[in-house]
Structure 1
Amino acid sequence: MTEPLDAVDERILALLGADARMTNAALAAQLGVAPSTAHSRMRSLVDRGVVTGFHAAADQTALGRGLQAVIGVTLRPGARHESIRAFTHHARRLPEVLQVFFVGGSDDFLVHIAVADSSAVRRFVVERMSAHASVASTRTSIIFEYHRNGLAADFD
């Protein structure tokens, strides 16, 4: 089990969540500790697997992909393990896909995409999702607005 986080650890995570490019000196100043302390605390969070990476957030609109959607995907019954693996491999390598969630409930997967427009959503669902051999059905929800509080590490 991972060592519990204290108030300094939680503050480091909050500061880096707001600005992952923050320098060690700026982190130390915000924490009110010596730079060597900030560095060792940060190193400890990485070594313990609490901090798993530093990420750049891209503006999808600036990339020409201003429309986002979540597609609920239900797989066909039978050979579930193989279908799950095949679909996961397929979905994760598609350039439109931002995130893939394997979930419990009425859907087997939620696939978060970013594309140029509604025609691209339709093409993606018809050609990339529904055409996959293991897909039984899809449900598409257009995202109007969202807020991300943080990033989760991969489950793999």
Structure 2
Amino acid sequence: MPKNPLPPKPLDATDLALVRLLELDGRTSNATLAREVGIAESTCLVRVRSLRERGVVRGIHADVDPVAVGRPVEAMIAVRFGGHRRSHFEEFTEQVPQLPGVLGAYHVSGAIDYYVHVATESADALRDFVLDHLTNRPGVLHAETSLIFESMRGRGTMTRPDEPADPAGETP
């Protein structure tokens, strides 16, 4: 199934303003969103629901500190496949992001096929993760692990700063 099955509908200034506000704080109430954008609360609710259904807003997530939940060892694991059988990629894409401790999985171009970002309890747990969940998979030729010494979450927005923040075209 396609990631965004609905035909793309261009985002208007109101949609962009809602997206920008949700990017800054995904917990913003519907009443606050409506007031900030200058639309009725019922209209705002319909618009935000439409943004979710269209795949523009893919979710609102908690940013959990891995150290605080007992997973202080973070790593980026570069995975390379030998041969490129579709079934190997499909299985990897479906299963690996669901594994405990996986913070992200990225299918990329170039010499590496995937990067897998993980957080584990210890160096031993990291080694076991790589051996148990990555290197033994069909098609996986090589996995190279790089420890992450410091992780910084991006704070930028997907909407451009020069785009209007509200339907009237005024910037904040």
Paired amino acid for 1:128: H
Distance 1:133 1:74 in 2: 11
Q: Aligned pair 1:27/2:52, yes or no?
A: no
RMSD: 2.6
Is 2:88 aligned against 1:94?
no
> TM-score under structure 2 normalisation?
0.72
Cα 1:90–1:28, aligned 2, differ >3 Å: closer, same or farther? closer
Aligned to 1:114: 119
Distance 2:157 2:134 in 1: 25
Q: Distance in 1 between matches of 2:40 and 2:61?
A: 25
The C-alpha deviation readout for 1:11-56, integer Å capped at 9, x for no partner, is 2112112222221111122224332332233233234332233333
Higher relative contact order at CA 8 Å, sep ≥6: structure 1 or structure 2? 2
User: Structure 1: which 5+ runs fail to align?
Assistant: none
Question: Whole-Å Cα distance in 2 between the matches of residues 45 and 72 of structure 1?
Answer: 33
Cα shift at 1:113: 0.7
Aligned-partner residue type, residue 88 of structure 1: T
Which TM-score applies when normalising by structure 1? 0.79
Percent identical residues: 38
* 2:164 matched residue in structure 1: none
**Structure 2 runs not aligned, ≥5 long:** 1-6, 159-172
* Residues paired across the two proteins, number: 151
Alignment match of 1:140 (pick from 140, 145, 149)? 145
Distance 1:150 1:2, change over 3 A: farther
Partners of 1:69 and 1:112 within 8 A in 2: yes
Matching residue within 29, 34, 44 for 2:50: 44
- Name the aligned partner's letter for residue 60 of structure 2: F
Amino acid paired to 2:89:
I
Distance 1:124 1:77, change over 3 A: same
Residue equivalent to 1:56? 62
* CA deviation profile, 1:57-88 (whole Å, cap 9, x unmatched): 3222221112221111011226x122223333
Separation in structure 1 between the aligned mates of residue 83 and residue 51 of structure 2, nearest angstrom: 42
